[in-house]
A and B are shown apart, each in its own frame.
Chain A
Amino acid sequence: GQSLEQPSEVTAVEGAIVQINCTYQTSGFYGLSWYQQHDGGAPTFLSYNALDGLEETGRFSSFLSRSDSYGYLLLQELQMKDSASYFCASNAGNNRKLIWGLGTSLAVNP
């Protein structure tokens, strides 16, 4: 089957750095995406990795290792507004369907 695994909850303090890992098992892997979702809102695109390595976008970075079927989202200089759910998702076929992880709830405390 196809699945993406990520931790269910992470807690950190303001100003800290947090890493959310995602391991995947998919057929026909095309790339790994990361989305942020606040309560009551729709997912917002954060980052995408098609190739191995690190992608940096401001305070957020994402890493992919295709050989390890593993990726992570790195959030730096955490702010209270970063408290949200974070999902990894994989485009695993030419039908463009996204396979979603179960999400990681991040709580940023003062």
Chain B
Amino acid sequence: RKEVEQDPGPFNVPEGATVAFNCTYSNSASQSFFWYRQDCRKEPKLLMSVYSSGNEDGRFTAQLNRASQYISLLIRDSKLSDSATYLCVVNMGMDSSYKLIFGSGTRLLVRP
């Protein structure tokens, strides 16, 4: 079983749609969580951190369920420019170590 698992998609949605991605992780001791975005043939870039209480950044909402070891990302009012691969990332380092483990990514296609 992979340490961080995501549905690869693709999710093909019309502009304006709401779409949700899910991610599960294996290490219950993990302390920090992120969503990264990766455009085709580009490097990953941080989209948002995920906090225990849930957090929102404009059209994007991230939530964490520690009991189920589950992270989600909700995108409202999808734009064409949201088309990308969304990577779920979990820090599985111990103590002061830093071991960012990436999921395989979920591909989103937003159509006109």
Q: A and B: real partners?
A: no
Residues of B participating in the A interface, judged by any CB pair closer than 8 Å: none
Residues of A participating in the B interface, judged by any CB pair closer than 8 Å: none
